[in-house]
Structure 1
């Protein structure tokens, strides 16, 4: 039995990101499905929607798979505008 897996080189938040209270510029995002992101070595684009402009750049620090969902923790390295 296989497991569907999607590789992502961009974070698309759709406004569902949550700020980590005790760490500056850290966010958590949970997405449906199993997704693979580059960890700690690459800076990836952050967008609200797939077709919109880049709002910033982030480094993904942690990724968890559980019950058909992927949760990532990322730190914003650069913000292109005001949220």
Structure 2
């Protein structure tokens, strides 16, 4: 079970007017839904904010994760 969302800068905003983002991981990853999770750009970087995963799709050896940004500490 994953408890930190690692983006590596590969996240895409789903809608310009919303804080909903989409991120695809290679392989299967399980995250808790509707729980406040740390958001980081890289595994050992500082926390950049908090997010809540709203949708998780495991298909064709990949994981599609849709999360809502709750708070942002820094933009870099």
Structure 1 residues not aligned, in runs of 5+? 1-6
Instruction: Give the structure-1-normalised TM-score.
Output: 0.86
After superposition, the C-alpha distances for 1:34-60 in whole angstroms (9 at most, x for unaligned) are: 1100001x1000100000000010000
- 2:24 alignment partner, one of 19, 23, 30: 30
- 2:51 alignment partner, one of 58, 65, 72: 58
Which one has the largest radius of gyration?
1
Q: RMSD in angstroms over aligned alpha carbons?
A: 1.1
Between the two proteins, the alignment pairs up a number of residues equal to: 76
Structure 2 residues not aligned, in runs of 5+? none
